[in-house]
Amino acid sequence: MEIPALFGAGRPVFSFEFFLPKAPADLSGFLASVRELKALRPDFVTLTYGAGGGSRDQTLNAAGRLQNELGIETACHLTCISHTRAEIAQLLDRINALGIRHLVALRGDQPKDGSALSAERRELPYAADLVTLVKRRGGFRMAVAGYPETHPDAASPQADIENLARKVRAGGDWVITQLFFDNRSYAGFVAKARAAGVSVPIVPGIMPVTGYAQLKRFTSLCGAKIPPEMERELERLQHDAAAVARFGVDYAVKQCRELLAAGAPGIHFFTLNKSHATAEILTRLRQAL
């Protein structure tokens, strides 16, 4: 199955993103959580990429288990900030040997372990360079990232849109956006991307709010904005964890329904490796379809 073909099937495409647990001992619990979400019949899942040596190997091994042991179509994140062209070629050989045919091609953030190549040593300085390399090699279909509220490192919103267009021209098959909470941001982003010649599906990335402090931390890192009315309600509820979780589910359901009604091709859920919130949201969405 090729993931890009799903977007022409006339129904919303639902996918989940997972991250590899930091402690290898937590892998069994992680796989159990994924098994729970498999019952929701996601069209595919993605697994974020640990760029460091040990975590890199663990990521690829876990992706292979999702694909082959759990039987879930898996797109493996791949970043280039820490790798030479030769290293990427070796990684692609390993990913291909696992039977994985889909990637999420990213530049990647600066690894905390300092393993990123210095600017003058980077053979693949941008995600578009990685996409070009993979496309020339062949054998993979790729998602690329989009930023409705502009990538923090972009020179300007227009420069960010132009960079997205370069990634798609290089071989990106579909776009997964960064998280956002105001659907107007997504609508404006899609309009600008289409005007720049981006014709591939642009899938909104949605993160269910499961904790107020966690939300503030994530949004500060990625530059996503919290709408004022959402901020006020979460400030009011922040000391009641159950109430925050309920609010997060209700907000995500409303947000996703509006996105799908407006023509979004599907929803990509940033699950944070938590099954309950994503399960409830997707169940409620499918009941309304």
* Model confidence, pTM: 0.94
The reported pLDDT for the residue numbered 288 is 80
109 vs 125, which has greater pLDDT? 125
Model pLDDT for residues 211-250, shown as the tens digit of each residue: 999 999 999 888 899 999 999 999 999 999 999 999 999 9
Q: What token pair was written down for 118? A: 């210095």
**Does residue 49 register a pLDDT over 70?**
yes
Lowest mean pLDDT among 19-28, 150-159, 204-213, 236-245: 19-28
CA angle, residues 232, 236, 238, in degrees to nearest 5: 110
Beta-bridge partner residues of 125: none
pLDDT at position 111 over 70:
no
In tens, the pLDDT along 13-22 reads 999 999 888 7
Per-residue exposure over 179-195, b if at least 16 CB sit within 10 Å of its own CB, e if not: bbbbbebbbebbebbee
Closest listed residue to residue 176, CA positions, set 264, 79, 254 = 264
Closest CA to 95 of 123, 132, 59: 59
pLDDT surpasses 80 at 201: yes
Residue 82 has pLDDT above 70, yes or no: yes
Selecting among 2, 17, 87, 231, the annotated active-site residue is 17
- Percent of the chain, pLDDT > 90? 78
Domains of the chain: 13-208+266-288 (3.20.20.220)
Residue 133: both structure tokens together: 């390399």
Structure confidence at residue 51 (pLDDT): 56
In the chain, which ranges are continuous DSSP H helix? 3-6, 27-38, 53-64, 85-97, 127-137, 157-170, 183-195, 212-222, 228-237, 241-261, 275-288
In this model, does residue 195 exceed pLDDT 80?
yes
- Higher confidence at residue 129 or residue 220? 129
Cα 249 to the chain's mean position, in Å?
19
**Does 17 participate in catalysis according to the annotation?**
yes
pLDDT band at 275 (very low <50, low <70, confident <90, very high): confident
Averaged pLDDT of the chain: 92
pLDDT the model gives residue 28:
85
Q: Which two tokens stand for residue 56?
A: 């890199």
Q: pLDDT above 70 covers what percent of the chain?
A: 94
44 pLDDT band (50/70/90 cuts)? very high
pLDDT at 113: 63
